[in-house]
Amino acid sequence: MSVYKMTEIVGTSPAGLEQAIQEAVGRASKTVRDIHWFEVKEIRGTVKEGQVGEYQVRLAVGFKLDD
For a copy of itself, the binding residues (CB under 8 A) are 1-14, 16-30, 35-40, 42-47, 49-52, 54-55, 58, 60-62, 65
Q: Find the shortest distance in angstroms from Cβ 1 to a copy of itself.
A: 5
Q: Find the shortest distance in angstroms from Cβ 33 to a copy of itself.
A: 10
Q: Find the shortest distance in angstroms from Cβ 45 to a copy of itself.
A: 5
CB count in 10 Å sphere of residue 53: 12
Distances (CA, A) of 9 to 1, 32, 37, 48, 49: 26, 12, 13, 23, 27
